[in-house]
Every structure is written in C-alpha cells, then in structure tokens.
Structure 1
Amino acid sequence: MEVIQHIIQQNEQGERIDKIVSGLNKEWSRSQVQQWIKDGHIKVDEEKVKPNFKCPAESTITVTIPEPEGLDVEPENLHLDIAYEDSDVIVVNKPKGMVVHPAPGHYSGTMVNGLMYHCKDLSGINGVLRPGIVHRIDKDTSGLLMVAKNDLAHEHLVNQLVAKTVTRKYTAIVHGTIPHEYGTIDAPIGRDPKDRQSMTVVDNGKNAVTHFKVLERFKDFTLVQCELETGRTHQIRVHMKYIGYPLAGDPKYGPRKTLNINGQALHAGVLGFNHPRTEEYMEFQAELPKEFEQLLAQLKNNH
C-alpha cells in the first residue's frame, strides 16, 4: 500500500477533508475519497474523521491508498512495440502517454494489460497489479523497459539494478543553455514536504546520481543525454530542475512557459543488461519518437 501525507497549510484550514484530499491527485474522485474516509484509509493526526471534517492548520492528513481487492488485470489486445523477447525477458518500447501498470485511476490501457494479452506468462513477484515489472518510466516518458517473464529472471534483473550494472540512457530537452559539456548530479531525492505528490532534493532523501552530457545547444534550450546510476522516482526531472535546467514540457517540475508539447521531453533510448539466464550483456536502442524529432527540428529552425 502507498501512504501519502499532507500537512494542512494556513490557506487550507477550515476546508472539508474530502475536498482537500481529492485536490491532491486529479485522478481521485470526490466520491472515491469519501469512501476511503469512511473505510478509515484517510485520517487526520492518526484519528478517523468524517468526509465533512474541517481541517485545522498544521494538522497532518495521512492517505493510505488501498490495493483493490480481488482485482484481476484484464488482458487487452493493445499494440506493443516489442524490441526483444525470449522465454525469460521482454524489452518493450513504451509510447508516450501509456501508463506502465494498473493503479488507482488507471485499470485499463496500461502496458501490463497489453503484456498479459501478448504473452500470458509474467513473473508474480510484484503481485497482481504489476506482474513482471522490474522498473518503471513515467506515463509521459517514452522508451525502453525490461520485463521479467518468470521469478528467476525478475530477481536477477532487480539485483542488477541494485548493483548499478544496468545501462539506462535517456535523451532530454531542457530549458536554458548548459555551458559545460559534462556533469554529474549527486543529490538525494525524497518526497517534497510541501507537496506530497512531488519529489525533490532533500537531506534525508535516498541516494540519487545522474550523469549527463550535452548533445546540442539551441536558443534557450539544450539537448542532453542523461545516464542513470540510481533509479529514483522522477530522478532526471528532479535533478535537472535542481541544477537550474528543468525539462521542457514538464508539467510538474518545469516552468509554465515552455514548449507546446504533452508532458516532458524525455526518452529512454538505451537499455543494457546481462541476460538473466545466459549472463550475456545485451543492449537495445529505441529511436526518438516522431514528436520528439519534430520538436528538435523546430528548435533548430528557431536557432
């Protein structure tokens, strides 16, 4: 179960708890939140309340998102761009806009729904909602993901992630002109205490390291390649914002005045790992999506 906490600000005091909580995530309906409150999944300062409870300032709302009971992931005949497949592993080139696995608000149309239809056999380590999923990329990030077909493969791939031996290179467009050619961002990432739906650099966060190099410079923007050493939630988006070069189009961490695109300009273009059975190193590349290429052409023309 995922647990989210939110501290009531001065401008929120006196507001109904169901209104405040439904505003924390646009995918949570008011009626769904009210049911969670009645079921005790939402508390204020560890106490059960009613949906019309008026929240005092500096009190803490704790939302424990319940796992859907008895939910079966329905196989769906979705188009999947399979870069590689054998009896242990699938490598999928996920399109922008597709959610990786079912979650509150997204129980169909996800990559997992498509995989269940495509191959039927996925590892069960992450349970019914995330079968086979070893790592994730955000909904609006495109690119390569490795998926495990059995538990042996799953454990092997996860161990490689922990050992930092998996190659993960992303192409991104960021705001601003980065003056130097290379850089390493070593800054811990955790939940933003002011916004529990966002991540940020915090002293008590988890270790996070991103390496980057400049590929091309444009007027007011830079094309970079980012290589992950660790894999924290929103890592590249948070780290590039932290050093003053937020991703173009990023609705959460970028500026309001940005390029007219749907979500961040970020593509997981290179993925490499040792095969869980043969130990052979395998590396895959996915070309930039057409939308990304068109954006680059536009920046070059403006430049």
Structure 2
Amino acid sequence: MATEFELAPFVVAPQEAGHTLAKVLRSRLGGPTWTQVRRLIAARRVQINGSVCTDDARRLQEGETVTLLRHPQPLPATAHPQRLVLRHLDDQIVVVEKPAGINTVRHPRERTWPSRRRRQSPTLEDLTQWAIAARYQYSPHVLPRLRVVQRLDRETSGLLVFARTAEAERILGQQFQAHTVFRRYIAIVVGTMKGQTFRSRLVRDRGDGRRGSTRNPHRGKEAITHVDVIEHLPGYTVVSCRLETGRTHQIRIHLAEAGHPVCGEKVYIHTLDGQILDDPSGAPRLALHAAELGFLHPTTGQPLHWSMPLPDDLSRFLQQLKKSGGNRHSLKHSRDG
C-alpha cells in the first residue's frame, strides 16, 4: 500500500544539522504527529545516504541525504544469522560471506542500540556475532567483540574478515597497510574494456562532494587497481579487479573515471563536469563482488585463501546480459516484466 505521506529526497540543510531524524522529518512533512513519524521510521521507510535508518533519535549531519520510501524496505533474505556462511572460524579471526544489502558495521550513533533494535536492522558485524554465538551455543554478550579490519560497501557482496582479538586486529592491520592481503573482486561494467592498471591519488572531495582522483601529487592517498578482462559481452565487460591498495570506493571510482562504471552504480556515474554516464543494464544492485581473499593467519603465520562464486542475483544478471546480447530494449523489457 502506498504511503500516506510523500516527500522528495532531500539534503540536510545547515539549520537542520544536529537535530533528530524524527524532528526534521516531521518538519519536512508539514507537521504529522510524533507517533506517525516514529512509525514511519520504525517501519523501515526512511533511508539516510541509501541505508535504512530505524533510529528516530539519530542526529543528522549537514549534507546527508534523507529519503522517504513509498513502501517499507524489507531486510535482505540473507540477513539472518542462520543463513550467514562462516568460511573460517577460530579464536583469532572469522571469515564470512557478506550478502549484498547490509552494512558491514553500524553507524557510531547506533552502537548503543539494544539487541532488540539491532535485530530490526542488523549489520554484518551483528549477524556474524550472532552466528558465532549460535555455533558455540553461547550468549552473544559473553563473546569477545569483533574488530573491524576491512569493510565492504552495503551493496557489495563477498568475502570479509573480522579479527576476534586485539593481537589479530594489530597483525591483520599491518598486513592491510603493507598491501600483502590478497583481494580480488569481480565486476560487471558498462562498455568494452581492456585490461589495465589504474594509479591515482584519491581525495574525499573531488570538487562536487564525491570522492575521486586528483592530479595534485600533494593531496589524497595513492590508489592502485589492477584490472584484467574475464569476458567481453555485447556492450559490457566482466572484469577481475585486484586491489594493491584499499581506499574507499577505489574500484568504483577507477572504473567510472575510465568511462566504464560498474553496472548498478548510483554515485560515480555523475562526472565532475556534470554529465551522467549511461548504464542501460538494469542491474539489480551494484554488480561488484569480493571473490577472493587471502592473508597470513595473524598468530600461526599459515597462508590462508578463500574464493567465493558470484551470488545468485549477479549470476542471474550475467545470464540475462548474455541472453539479451546487450540489446538495450531487451534488457529494459526483461527488467520491467
């Protein structure tokens, strides 16, 4: 059923910064009751920067984008500890298969949420801890907290490691900083692409509020991505991306700046000069998957390596591209049907 309230997505203004989500939303909607606003938020109808927020007391920051959905955003079917795949578990580390559609970690303002509220909008960190507790038949509260050493974007699927001790966190952190952790992603991109290596310096704001590359050698951090072609399709290319560095959104930025955005990209299809890169693919989500992960065990030194095939949603999308032969009308029709 369509929502009784309608509101176009908006960017938090300076005078709204610091106020709660409920207060700003109530003002923007023209004064519904506090109960109505809180019900909208609790029903998973509000997103902040593309992620569902169910915390009506969340303090907004200037520049954040708030979206009121017409229908509740359901949890991904895989967002359940019993469905989460633990690829490796010992007393030092845990390696998991992250499903698309959930954040890796919780927003700092949400870290004090009670367990009941967390279960309404779980993160990968939550699901992993609950899955470990279920395997050991312990309460999650008695387990050591998970320590974050890497992140995957909300819409990216694939392999990810958490540390379970301070020592493992320190040693894995050193491996990531030394660029010795092996990370390979599979991406489906728009256009016919060639294998190449991208080297640039990435900054938080390229000039329009988005991350991107700069030509100033004194700004930003070096980012290196090695890209190999797996398969050419009519109008699209399946590529393998190996990270030498691990900057935020590195793969997405490098591919988009080369004119080959990842299918389903929503942020970096906007170029610095105001153009929008074409993406007729109809991708169900960002077509990016962390397919391989390898490192030395932080305490034993044993080389460890895992691989994960494309999940079902991207496998179906790839088959759809192959069947359509890259025909734009066929792709749109199959997605609309």
Common fold: TM-score over 0.5? yes
Matching residue of 1:147: 162
Aligned AA (1:275): H
**Residues 236 and 79 of structure 1: is their aligned pair in 2 closer, same or farther, counting only changes over 3 Å?**
same
| CA RMSD after TM alignment | 3.1
In structure 1, what is the Cα distance between the partners aligned to 2:184 and 2:124? 21
String of CA shifts for 1:224-263, please: whole Å, max 9, x gaps: 0000001111110001011111111111113364322333
Task: Please list the CA deviations of residues 9-32 of structure 1 after superposition, one character each: whole Å capped at 9, or x if unmatched.
Answer: xxx9xx77329x989846689x86
Cα deviation for residue 220 of structure 1 reads 1.0
Cα distance, 1:219 vs structure 2: 1.1
1:290 and 2:312 are equivalent in the alignment: yes
Shift in Å at residue 81 of structure 1? 1.1
Give how far 1:184 is off: 0.5
Among 183, 187, 203, the residue aligned to 1:168: 183
Q: Which residue of 2 aligns with 1:17?
A: 15
Q: Which residue of 2 aligns with 1:223?
A: 238
In structure 2, the partner of 1:207 is 222
Cα-to-partner distance string for 1:64-113 (whole Å, 9 max, x where unaligned): xxxxxxxxxxxx84531111111111110101112111116875311111
In 1, are the aligned partners of 2:158 and 2:289 still within 8 Å (CA)? yes
For residue 62 of structure 1, report the CA deviation from its aligned partner. Answer: 8.7
Report which of the two has the higher share of helix: 2
Residues in 2 aligned to 1:140 and 1:188: alpha-carbon distance in whole angstroms: 24
Q: Quote the residue 1:186 is aligned against.
A: 199
Task: Give the whole-Å Cα distance in 1 for the aligned partners of 2:97 and 2:203.
Answer: 28
Is 2:274 aligned against 1:270?
Answer: no
Matched, 1:103 2:107: yes
Rounded to whole Å, the distance in 1 between the matches of 2:82 and 2:207 is 38
Aligned residues: 245
**What one-letter code is carried by the residue in structure 1 that aligns with 2:315?**
E
- Structure 2 spans left out of the alignment, 5+ residues: 1-10, 25-46, 65-79, 111-117, 133-139, 270-276, 326-337
Tell whether 2:253 aligns with 1:238.
yes
Partners of 2:278 and 2:235 in 1: CA distance:
15
Structure 1 counterpart SS, 2:211: strand
Give the SS at the match of 2:300.
coil
Identity %: 33
Q: Secondary structure at the match of 2:320?
A: helix
Equivalent position SS for 1:96: coil
- SS of structure 2 residue aligned to 1:231: coil
Amino acid at match of 2:197: T
> Any residues of structure 2 matched to 1:16-55 within 5 Å, and which?
17-18=15-16, 25=49
Please state which structure has a larger fraction of its residues in strand. 1
Over residues 31-71 of structure 1, what are the superposed CA-to-partner deviations in whole Å (9 max), with x where a residue is unaligned?
868x66xxxxx6xxxxxxxxxxxxxxxxxx699xxxxxxxx
Q: Please point out which of 277, 281, 286 is paired with 1:259.
A: 281
Are the aligned partners of 1:171 and 1:268 in contact in 2 as well (CA < 8 Å)? yes
Checking the alignment, whether the CA contact within 8 Å between 1:94 and 1:143 is kept in structure 2 is: yes
Indicate how the Cα distance of structure 1 residues 62 and 139 shifts in structure 2: closer, same or farther if over 3 A, else same. closer
Aligned to 2:93: 89
Match of 2:173 in 1: 158
Q: Deviations over 1:154-213 (max 9, x none)?
A: 1111100011100000000011101x3x210001111124443x3111231211000010
TM-score in terms of structure 2 length: 0.65
Output the amino acid matched with 1:274.
L
- Evaluate the alpha carbon distance shift between residue 82 and residue 24 of structure 1 in structure 2; reply closer, same or farther with a 3 A threshold: closer
- Paired residue secondary structure (1:169): strand
Paired residues of 1:140 and 1:262 also in contact (CA < 8 A): no
Q: 1:150 to 1:16 in 2, by over 3 A?
A: closer
Write the letter of the residue equivalent to 1:199.
R
Letter in 1 for 2:225: T
Q: Distance in 1 between matches of 2:237 and 2:128?
A: 35
Match of 1:279 among 301, 313, 316: 301
- SS of alignment partner, residue 301 of structure 1: helix
Inter-CA distance 16–148: structure 2 relative to 1 (3 Å threshold): closer
What is the CA–CA distance in structure 2 between the aligned matches of 1:237 and 1:281, rounded to whole Å? Answer: 28
Tell me the distance in 2 between the aligned counterparts of 1:104 and 1:263. Answer: 26
